[in-house]
Amino acid sequence: MDTLFNTKFEGDPASHSQPGVQLKSNTYDLQESNVNLKLTIVSTVGFGDQINKEDSYKPIVEFIDAQFEAYLQEELKIKRVLHNYHDTRIHACLYFIAPTGHSLKSLDLVTMKKLDSKVNIIPIIAKSDAISKSELTKFKIKITSELVSNGVQIYQFPTDDESVAEINGTMNAHLPFAVIGSTEELKIGNKMMKARQYPWGTVQVENEAHCDFVKLREMLIRVNMEDLREQTHTRHYELYRRCKLEEMGFKDTDPDSKPFSLQETYEAKRNEFLGELQKKEEAMRQMFVQRVKEKEAELKEAEKELHEKFDRLKKLHQDEKKKLEDKKKSLDDEVNAFKQRKTAAELLQSQAQQAGGSQTLKRDKERKN
């Protein structure tokens, strides 16, 4: 991006140990001569660095949808200010492909397939000086074949305008672009040029014999910038808008193919919502009544169990009381019998003592006589 816009953009290199994919957005105001450009660069930090890459595309899709949603909300306002609204929709996706020389990764195919209906994808072979020219040509053919066979629709430069039809047709044949980036300037001949210096030679960024950087810059910034914006609005945003409004219940025609006004749509949706709300309220009321009945039944059952337990305890108490009374009566009988035996024994003992005393007196009288 620094090479493309001849600017040193902010941002530190991100580590490859991110727990997930994070999107970082930075907006810059660029100026060249009298031309002002508001540029927003969104980088996908951590993309493809995780072991499990199954959901790596989701944060990107969610971010693009969020920008569409923000624009839709602005569009639906009563007082719209679209003429000076800061449009954050993504107009171009530069999808970098590793210069392996073999085939596209599954992650690349899945991600591009998820994005092709939401953004203009321009595939780019990064660091293309890592493979030879012959390998690069074969790699381009291989990538194009895989994209077609997997149904991935990349952005095609428009050929309907006669003024750019020829150059765009030629550039479409060069996709994906093989690019090299460098902000270092080296003296080549009598000119200072952006290039990369290697032990085996120098790779010139702006030399079309070395890479497709100039082609990318021409197509992206000078020739097709407006078409990219138009494609985003008329194709990708309209698709999102249509799906969103249909999801909300808005229609252009009724079942009889008659025009459906916004007021009718609103009333129909409102009535549908109120009907669903009433159904939910009725269902909640029925559930509440059912829960109350179940609770009452539980309480009655608990009360019945308590009564039964009370009756059992009462009967058990009465039985224990009867047993105690019987035992008390038995003990009382034993005490009375004991008292009677004691009284009889005391009487006998008294009689015996009296009889013994009479005999002693008689023997005394006899001795005296």
pLDDT for 304-335, tens place per residue?
999 999 999 999 999 999 999 999 999 999 99
Q: Is 101 left (phi over 0), alpha (psi -120 to 50) or beta?
A: left
Q: How far apart are the first and last CA of the chain?
A: 165
Separation in Å, CA 309 to CA 228, 281, 323: 83, 41, 21
Q: Is the pLDDT of residue 196 over 70?
A: yes
Can you read off the two tokens belonging to residue 31? 């100026």
pLDDT, tens digit (0-9, with 9 covering 90-100), for 126-138: 999 999 889 999 9
Q: What is the DSSP-derived secondary structure letter of residue 16?
A: S
pLDDT exceeds 90 at position 63: yes
Distance CA 206, CA 4 (A): 10
User: What is the DSSP code (8-state) at residue 223?
Assistant: I
The answer to whether 56 and 21 are in contact (CB under 8 A) is: yes
Q: Write out pLDDT tens, residues 122-179.
A: 999 999 999 988 999 999 999 999 999 999 999 999 999 888 999 999 999 999 999 9
- Distance (Å, whole) CA 155 – CA 252: 30
Give the residue-averaged pLDDT of 243-263: 69
299 pLDDT tier (thresholds 50, 70, 90) = very high
Q: How would DSSP label each residue in 82-148?
A: GGG--------EEEEE---SS---HHHHHHHHHHTTTS-EEEEETTGGGS-HHHHHHHHHHHHHHHH
Backbone angles phi, psi at 310, to 5 degrees: -60, -45
What is the mean predicted confidence (pLDDT) over 177-202? Answer: 89
Average pLDDT across the chain, whole number: 88
CA distance 260 to 264: 6
Residue 253's pLDDT is what?
Answer: 62
Three-state SS at 75: helix
Q: What is the pTM of this model?
A: 0.69
269-274 long-range contacts (CB < 8 A, ≥24 apart) are: none
Determine phi and psi for 37, rounding to 5 degrees.
-135, 125
- Which of 77-86, 231-240, 281-290, 338-347 shows the lowest per-residue confidence on average (mean pLDDT)? 77-86
The closest alpha carbon to 43, from 72, 13, 71, belongs to 13
Coil vs helix vs strand at 167? helix
Residue 324: its pLDDT value, please?
93
Q: What is the DSSP letter of 19?
A: S
Express each pLDDT in 28-50 by its tens digit: 998 888 888 889 999 999 998 88
